A and B are shown apart, each in its own frame.
Chain A
Amino acid sequence: MSTWAIIGLFEAVLAILIAPLFIGWIDQCRAWLQNRRGAGMLQPYRTIRKLLHKDAVIAHGASSLFRVSPYVQFGAMAMAAAIIPVFSVRAPLGVAADTIALVGVFALARVFIALAAMDIGTAFGSLGARREMLVGFLAEPALLMVFLTASMISQSTLLPTIADVLGQIHFTIFPSLAFAGIAFVMVLLAENARIPIDNPTTHLELTMIHEAMVLEYSARHLALIEWSSALKLFNYATIGIALFLPWGLAGRTGGALELALALPIAALKLVILGAALALVETLSAKLRIFRAPEFLATAFLLAVLGLLVHLLLGS
């Protein structure tokens, strides 16, 4: 295997391993902003380890679809991590799947977890499934439109190529990307169940969206789901960096030095992004569930607007 393929594989594995740390960092920032001490940045790892040791308790009516879903979700997020460039544009599977396939991967994960939620047959599971599909059916087109805008500017739908092209351009302001960026942040908040769409730390079932779907999971299944949620947020963050802040990614023709520099640059960007996310979460309040479609419709229409502005201005 060539060196680049190994580096690419390392990139994907690194993404999978670091994702809980990213969530830990965001939680720590939120704690600091709320004047608390916080549980430490390694807390998600401790949670996952604790869960893996437990016995899985499954409801009587659960079918094998319920037990398979966490693995499918984790596999899908791992696939996405292999497609998205984290610190170099040579993502290992970047050729096999482009941004549209990426949207499809996220949809696959969402459908499986929604079906697993409906499998138990209680009111909460189907509540969560219904709400998650509501958020998803508006967020997915918005994400697709954001990707289409970026694809039109860089003339390609392959994410590594988009990142490469956008990173090579000398500093240029793209108004359409500004629209797309705002829409992307809104979709990120919605899809990863952050405030203002969903509160990841709530324990009131009637206010849950994502948590209601995983109410019945325990032990290793729950560990995998927590890890995939962390990985999903990490994937979205790296997509955002690749599209909107692509400078510093090791390019196609880069050598070892560029690669060595790309790692700390990527880490810095992620740190800043995590802090910014924590700030947004602390400053906003959670929306009522039926304001969520308005929020997402705004994101969708902003993304469409970005596309139209690109067509008008040529930038």
Chain B
Amino acid sequence: MSRHRSAALGDRLRTSYQAELALLDRRSRRVAFAALAAALAAFPFLASAFQLDLANQVLLASIGAVAFMLLTGYAGQVSLGHAGLLAAGAFTTGILYKELDAPIWATLPASALVGAALGLVFGLPSLRLRGLYLAVSTLALHFIVIYAGMEYEARRSYSTGVVIDPPAIGGWTLASPLAWYFVLLGFAAAAVLVALNLLRSRTGRAWRAIRGREAVAEALGIHVPAAKLLAFLVSSVMTAVAGCLFAYYRGFVSSEAFTLYVTIQYAAMIIIGGMGSILGAVLGTIFVTLFPYFIEYLVATLPVPQSWVDSIYAVNYAAFGLVMILFLVLEPQGLVGLWRRAKQYFLLWPFKQRPLRASQ
């Protein structure tokens, strides 16, 4: 093939399987990715301490959000036990640290293992139940996990939670926000990469089939129970790891931090972001994590009654509930839906799509 012709065909001409499977398969994508990587690398040096902390929170939350998206947004297994899994990872870390003085290279895998085991437990009901009833059973399991955490705290009289020292590997301690940024960025990128690759694989296709129509998936020869449990497994391992990181980042673990509200926030992330899209998970995470700060800013600048300023958490609740309702009613496809609409508008402008004669 002459160079001239292959240039004309551009990157669409693939000459190896490797090229076919590559995520960054086009020049435009490679360029965009390079720009993004550069921006992400430069960000911590240009941002204020407050913004850096925000970014860290977003990165940390995105791991959990991607995990949740895989389970509920792609595989269609409704799980309301997310906070319970986060707590499991965090508590494993805390307990191992307190009882055995374990370092991070032990607690992290341990959390992952506990996550895997718990994931299987949370996933077992999915073999018999679907939809509402599955959600309820995972909810019940959430409460049981939290209760176990509370028991531990009560037994050891850590009424305010378990305090953990920053993790250290070799001689180097992970304490500064800057260091955390890159570590979290690494984990978040890994989570996204794992997710994207899983979704492009047989497993991902199996999950999407199950979410679409389970009976048909089974008829197609997909081993549905195994696929479901795998979804729970992968998702819980990721979530537990996120919980472990969360424990180290916060510096302490308390069962009060893992309320149902946390699960709902993650649910909001994937809904507001847009179900069935990793991009949606990321967008949703950014939105939901930054939202309370935005509300705080609004309350500080707009003229509101003093009582509102005092109970800002209530303003948060009310605003959050309202926004979630608005998204559910008006744009069920979430931010990704908005993004796609905007993209389509610009792609087609000035040629607006002409409706077919038979439509209104």
Co-assembled chains A and B? no
User: Which residues of B are in contact with A by a Cβ distance under 8 Å?
Assistant: none
User: Which residues of A are in contact with B by a Cβ distance under 8 Å?
Assistant: none
